[in-house]
Amino acid sequence: MIRVVLPHHLRTLARVGDEVKLEVNGRATTQSVLDALEARYPMLRGTIRDHGTQKRRPMVRFFVCGEDVSHDPPDTALPEAIVNGAEPFFIMGAIAGG
Amino acid sequence: MSGVRLLVGTRKGAFILTSDEKRKDWKVDGPHFAGWEIYHVKGSPVDPNRLYASQTSAWFGQIIQRSDDGGKTWIQPGTAPGEPTTTPDGMPKGDSNKFVYDVSPETGKRLTTHMWYDGTQHPWEFKRVWHLEPSLTDPNHVYAGVEDAALFESKDGGENWKELAGLRGHDSGPKWQPGAGGMCLHSILLDPKNPKRIFIAISAAGAFRTDDGGKSWKPINQGLHSQYIPDPHAEVGHCVHHIAMHPSRPETLFMQKHWDIMRSDDAGDSWREVSGNVPSDFGFPIDIHAHEPETIYVVPIKSDSEHFPPDGKLRVYRSRTGGNEWEELTKGLPQRDCYVNVLRDAMSVDALDSCGIYFGTTGGQVYGSSDAGDSWNAIVRDLPAVLAVEAQTLP
């Protein structure tokens, strides 16, 4: 079970709490996690990845185990701590404060 | 009992204001979609309980919301609560947010470039929906004006959107350029007498008209004069801020341009200036009295760099002569130290016997008049910055 933490705007849109849990079929990658997330919560399609290109939206970033993986190839395998649910996969709006 | 419902879009959510026909006491409901920018909310003229809302974020993109009960509850079309979230073959749904430019060989146009601020060419990129215009005859049919400028339509209640690509594909497309707010298609007027005729306006390209239901488009900017572009009389490139039409006279259009208030009596084929005696002919909204097609309203703003009322006095100007001769309307509006703006979609009229007129400000006030502008009251004072106001007259 993979844990995903969504930014506030997407929590209200998907009507979920701080964190969602997902079953990911096959190898856990950024792409497969997002595929599973959008399959479970279709209202999130287009909010994280562009509808047309499927690329990450410019002001959205992904973090795993304290590392920014936003610019990694989307089929890069995620760490075991993400796969076994010890650590969540963070989706964040690219803003630090203000 | 009849009444009025105001659909208010703000920088941080939507609000619904309702009153009976006296328009004295208002109920404020909201925020809906708190934290999101709501560029526009509009109801179907056929079914006033059918509302469409554009919910948007620079971070998270475009969401379309729909209500079938006058704004009490909302759904994203195609992902209604209780419905399966996948198609029979397991593919996710949720296509209601999907605005993809049509580049198909059958109906689309090649995705080319438009002019950027610095004069270079820049790729077309979808950013958000500025304006939603429900059809005059079918509640499930709705148009969307988007940034970067294009026109989309949905015929299934907002579930699927298809671009009317002939507009973006017009030969002049590479000359279109963004205004300060982006390259937005912000005005959509549907001709009640000719279902094949639609008027739209883009900042900063100008106004366009189709007479074949959206397949082909013609720039209708003859008579516009814009000193801030290299050729002040160019076919396109004018920063049109808003256009308005009275349903009884669809040949007559009124325009608030970047500078200049304009009028056309031949469906946009030619325009003439009717700015007359307004203290500034810069502004954003323009609207028309529900029962008097020659009575029009604007809110003068000081200049294109100083987006606030001249002299700190918030004044609506009304012309009962279709332009040129204007009277200031100030009763109930702040006449000192007022430095708010009124954005292009933030003015609307109701259709009660004594026409009501409403506008929202970037300071979060929504002002209303139940006597055609003679006197005003603040319906609510402290909303987030108001982006759009639409009035619905309820039976």
> Is the CB of A74 inside 8 Å of chain B's CB atoms?
no
Average pLDDT over residues A80-88: 96
Q: Which of B36, B58, B94 sits opposite A45 (nearest CB)?
A: B94
Residues B38, B13 contacting (CB under 8 angstroms) = yes
| Distance from C-alpha of B338 to C-alpha of B143, rounded to nearest angstrom | 35
Q: Which residue has the higher pLDDT, B323 or B57?
A: B323
Q: Which helix H or strand E contains B254, and what residues bound it?
A: strand B253-257
Long-range contacts, stretch A51-54, CB < 8 angstroms, 24+ apart: A51/B61, A51/B97, A51/B98, A51/B99, A51/B100, A52/B100, A52/B101, A52/B126
> Which residue in chain B is spatially nearest to A34 when comparing CA positions?
B92
pLDDT for the residue numbered B76: 85
pLDDT of amino acid B113: 92
Residues of B in contact with A48 (CB under 8 A): 60
The neighbour count for residue A97, using CB atoms within 10 Å, is 3
| Chain B residues within an 8 Å CB radius of A93 | 59-60
* Candidate from A62-76, B65-79, B333-347 with smallest mean pLDDT: B65-79
Read off the pLDDT of residues A26-79 as tens digits, 9 standing for 90 and up: 999 999 999 999 988 888 988 999 887 889 998 999 999 999 999 999 999 999
Q: Can you give the pLDDT at residue B91? A: 44
Calculate ∠ Cα B13-B365-B325, nearest 5°.
125
Starting at the edge strand that comes first in sequence, how are the strands of the sheet with B51-57 ordered?
A: B37-43, B51-57, B61-67
Q: Which CATH class is domain A2-93?
A: alpha beta
Tell me how far apart the 2 most distant CA atoms of chain B are, in Å: 64
With beta carbons under 8 A apart, name residues in chain B contacting A46.
61-62, 94, 97-98
For residue range B124-178, list pLDDT tens digits in order: 999 999 999 999 999 999 999 999 999 999 999 999 999 999 999 999 999 999 9
Nearest residue in B to A10, CA atom: B60
Domain B35-341 bears CATH identifier 2.130.10.10: yes
CB contact under 8 A, B34 and A12: yes
Which of A15, A25, A40, A45 should we substitute to test contact with B (largest number of B Cβ atoms within 10 Å)?
A: A45
Residue A97 has pLDDT above 60, yes or no: no
Task: Please state the domain extents for chain B.
Answer: 35-341
Strand partners, B240: B257
pLDDT the model gives residue B152:
98
Question: pLDDT at residue B97 above 90?
Answer: no
B81 has pLDDT over 80:
no
Identify the closest residue of chain A to B55 by CA–CA distance.
A13
B contacts of A52 (beta carbons < 8 Å): 100-101, 126
Query: Which pLDDT score is estimated for B112?
Result: 87
CA distance to partner chain B, nearest, from residue A59 (Å):
5
In chain A, domain spans? 2-93
Q: How much is the pTM?
A: 0.92
Nearest CA in chain B to A12: B33
CB pair distance less than 8 Å for B60 and A45: no
